[in-house]
Structure 1
Amino acid sequence: MKPVLWMKSSCTTCRNAKAKLAELGIEVEVRDYFKKPLEATELERLLPSDPGPMLGTKSPKYKELGLKDRKLSKAEAIALMVQDNNLLKRPILVHAKGVIIGFDAAAYGTLVS
């Protein structure tokens, strides 16, 4: 299975992640989830039981909803992320060796060893 990079093409961090993966020789299928939003079933497979680490804390919606002080259930997080994809931390790399949330160059490097 080819790794999938879930990203927003206008996001600088996402573009940096994509470039790092290319530099490491890791071919990925790119999925811009702002052009083709994630569906609840996809999020269900992607999110861990504690969705906290996958929440985009810099999102205006995150602040507006006061999510900093709330512990969301997986179902609540999915419902909110379906409504507003900006609530999903990006990029997300889904690889046979695991899921990496956010741009982590060191973690990407471990995928080629």
Structure 2
Amino acid sequence: MNKIYYLKTCSTCAKILKQLPNLDRFELQDIKPNPLTEAQLNELYAMAGSYEALFSRTATLYKERGLKDRTLTEDDYKALLLEHYTFLKRPVIVAGDKIFIGNKANTVAEAVAYLK
């Protein structure tokens, strides 16, 4: 499976997509109009090893809800990821059996190198 979960309105996601070689080999899913399904989230979980790895602590809702002051469980992360698209660390790039999560420079560089 070659798929990228991203947010079309996110300038960082757009910048990263421009850097990726062979983008035409990927199915793109804009997570705002097409949120993750539970099945998709479970597939990402299997690759990432945890829901927490997929979770964005920079989401505005994370701060607004005071979640930073709580100890969240894997079940909490899963529920939040299914509840609102903004909790997904993005982009999530799935290339075969490899997953790249988020927009940190080293993650993007690894994805670009892997996809060449």
Fold match (TM-score > 0.5): yes
Asked if structure 2 preserves the Cα contact closer than 8 Å seen for 1:97 and 1:111, the reply is no
Q: 1:72 to 1:50 in 2, by over 3 A?
A: farther
Q: Secondary structure at the match of 1:111?
A: helix
For residues 29 and 5 of structure 2, the distance between their equivalents in structure 1, rounded to whole angstroms, comes to: 5
Which sections of structure 1, spanning at least 5 residues, go unmatched?
none
Which aligned runs of 4 or more in structure 1 are off by greater than 3 angstroms? none
Q: CA deviation at 1:78?
A: 1.6
For residues 74 and 49 of structure 1, the distance between their equivalents in structure 2, rounded to whole angstroms, comes to: 11
For residues 38 and 74 of structure 2, the distance between their equivalents in structure 1, rounded to whole angstroms, comes to: 11
Q: CA deviation at 1:94?
A: 0.7
Identity of aligned residues (%): 27
Q: CA deviation at 1:68?
A: 2.7
Q: CA RMSD in A?
A: 1.9
1:33 aligns with 2:31: yes
Q: CA deviation at 1:8?
A: 0.7
Which sections of structure 2, spanning at least 5 residues, go unmatched?
none
Question: 1:94 matched to which residue of 2?
Answer: 94
1:66 aligns with 2:63: no
Provide TM-score, normalisation by structure 1: 0.82
Question: Which segment drifts farther, 66-75 or 90-99?
Answer: 66-75
Q: CA deviation at 1:69?
A: 4.3
Alignment: residue pair count: 110
Provide TM-score, normalisation by structure 2: 0.80
Q: CA deviation at 1:64?
A: 2.2
